[in-house]
Structure 1
Amino acid sequence: MKPVCVLGNGQLGRMLRQAGEPLGIAVYPVGLDAEPESVPFHHAVITAEIERWPETALTRELAEHAAFVNRDIFPRLADRLTQKQLLDSLQLPTAPWQLLASAQEWPGVFSRLGELAIVKRRVGGYDGRGQWRLRHDTAATLPQECYGECIVEQGIAFSGEVSMVGARSTDGHCVFYPLTHNLHEEGILRASVALPQPDARMQQQAETMLAAIMNALGYVGVMAMECFIVGDRLLINELAPRVHNSGHWTQNGASISQFELHLRAILDLPLPKPVIDAPSVMINLIGTDVNSAWLALPLVHLHWYDKEVRPGRKVGHLNLTHSDRTQLQHTLQSLVPLLPEAYHSGLQWAQATL
């Protein structure tokens, strides 16, 4: 089995490495401290865990390597401008948007897009960073450096947020997980809920859209598509050409996790449709110290990233899965006294969504 080198060595790279071990796949996350002689990249398959990886001589070489799967697709999707242009070219639904080139455009922006404008950096910016919610009276607060480097979208009144995580093989075969319902607070994913029998119409709509994107690009591997629910239809918010936070529940709630599925796809291994038998919940641990009391609850699976705990930083997640939704709801309620107050709204949302 060929080894896999991952551009970036955060938690996603760590979980790709963990997923490779049972299959005998050696995975090498590559960050700033990677020594070129310890990374067998000459005979490896190369992938990425993040849109912007650390810049070193080694990562530059990997990024240009012929064995970097999706090498030429990655920068196209990492830039929100070219990502939106792709979706428009495929006639897939998104929020109305435009490039924001200068401050003189604001009157036209509000005239066209409405009273709430969402500004996003074209490259970088995640977990609520690099994004601004602006109205007529606050548009002047946008830093001057953003003009030409950002897109602006219409603020959408949505009833919910979902994501579709799927994978495509080298021969064009696509498989998908059930739609994942997501709760974001201040731009950060707080909780996800996946049901084994999602809304059939919405599931089909999401699968059709994501398949169209992956097929148009000739993409290989796992891709995530975040969407807004607006009435009975989905609007695509953003794409992630990699494994994704909202797919973490698959580690314990699916027959094949998103991390294993990605490795299978890029190594041209069999890609069966993952089996999901029970509802699952994922709770992101953000700026919170580890608490061994979580492990007293039998349905809780702790995934700790072994990172320094800092405010606003993702340091781990909890997965819960069980065929009995009542037991899941009871366990979520039992977590309330074991987590800071900032988590309580997310735990309540997850109980209500099950």
Structure 2
Amino acid sequence: MAAGTGFSRSFVLVEDGFSNDGEERSQNSGQLDVGKPPRNLAVVRHSISTATLLTPTDPDLGVVGVKSASDGKSEYTPMIRSGSCAEKGPKEYMEDEHICIDSLLEHFDRTEGFPSLGAFYGVFDGHGGTDAACYVRKNILKFIVEDPQFPGCLKKAIRNAYLKADQAFAENSTVDVSSGTTALTTLVFGRMLVVANAGDCRAVLGKRGRALELSNDHKPNSIPERHRIEQLGGVIYDGYLNGQLSVSRALGDWHMKGPKGTACSLSGEPELQEIFLMEDDEFLIMGCDGLWDVMSSQCAVTIARKELMIHNDPERCSRELVREALKRGTCDNLTVIVVCFSPDPPPWIEIQSPMGHRRSISSEGLHFLKGILDGNS
């Protein structure tokens, strides 16, 4: 431990088990050696972090201590910062797309209908080419804000936008309608956060070291999706919907869908979850299945929290999550977005020692230790 850190005896320090080799690779889209996909190359867009790098108390510790929990002040206002990273990984083509908009006011250059705090993020994992992922990335936000339910009922507006984007893609003569994409979006509207998901990308909230999943992975073998598929006459072969697709919800893939208005086992309808941001909500991780195939949600939150405590930069944090997934042998494209809700790094988590040799540990501390064990497994 470096001198002058000033930890009291009530802190229990735990080795984190994650390596920082210091090497950083550029993730700019112009430097990706992705080859040529079946159709247009996916345009990988990155949000530049506006974070000021803060010097941690001791960057060499690699530990997380513990501090007090949120005092629950009602006047809490989130401050949005984001960073993203995308790599094609071991696959031949890059078919992921993503979008990061930290300010809806600046993006639309208007104030009507938007709160002072508004942001939008999306991860789109394409398959069968990049046409569907690219189309949805370019149009989904427009469909949301143009919906009659916006902004009065955000969940209805987002649901309608997904279905409209799916149908509009099918009617577009300039694209390959047999390509498809999963779609995971997050709309921050004031202190309201709305996550919509169709597919197997995942959004995970970091809440004082605890991972809180805000979306469900739509895999054909999951019990709710299996029931829905079978009720609609679909079948599952070896984990694949109708023997063709490893996800049960996606936009596009119109060779597997029926005419407009007919029920289909492959659905473009998203599941939605809405939460009210609190002071304990530190950051959000959005990632394609290339991340979650090799990493648990709690492990990702533990890694991200540790990184943010060191450098407080969501861009570097997203790169570290991608790097860790590559080390663990992911077989897919990788796209990760990290959205922070505070200008400050996550606080230390305190493990109290109330009396004698007895020790108690907070729920946050337990989740942190679980993440470490997951990370070393």
Task: Judge same fold: TM > 0.5, yes or no.
Answer: no
Higher relative contact order (CA 8 A, sep 6+): 2
- Return the structure number with greater strand share: 1
- Return the structure number with greater helix share: 1
TM class by smaller structure: under 0.3
**Larger gyration radius, structure 1 or structure 2:** 2
TM-score (norm 2): 0.25
TM-score (norm 1): 0.26
